[in-house]
Amino acid sequence: MDKPLPHDRIDEVIHQRTRLAIMATLSGVESLEFKELKALLALTDGNLSTHLSALEKAGYVTITKTFKGKVPNTSVSMTPPGKAAMSEYVELLRQILNQDK
């Protein structure tokens, strides 16, 4: 059996455009508040929530709900498996880009 090609191993959870933007943004920080992430990526509450749910279901992000005084606050952080998946995703892209070299 032939070894799978790099593009056959791309993580479809991360590969979706908005989820990739979320993961890329989170990869450079410890965590972000929901409203900060929403503003940085110019997403609606619903759109961001939907994509975060998919990433949380995959185990790639943790969503933490707390209160700042009486105001609800939601923060998002990448999990260790999420960091590993993102690193693998980036490495696969490198392999794809370098296939013919």
Alpha-carbon span 30 to 67, nearest angstrom: 19
pTM of the entire predicted model: 0.90
> In this predicted model, what pLDDT tens digit does every residue of 33-87 receive, in sequence order?
999 999 999 999 999 999 999 999 999 999 999 998 998 999 999 999 999 999 9
- Specify the CATH number of the domain 10-95: 1.10.10.10
Task: List helix spans (H) across the chain.
Answer: 12-15, 17-26, 34-41, 45-57, 80-97
Q: For the chain, what are the domain ranges?
A: 10-95
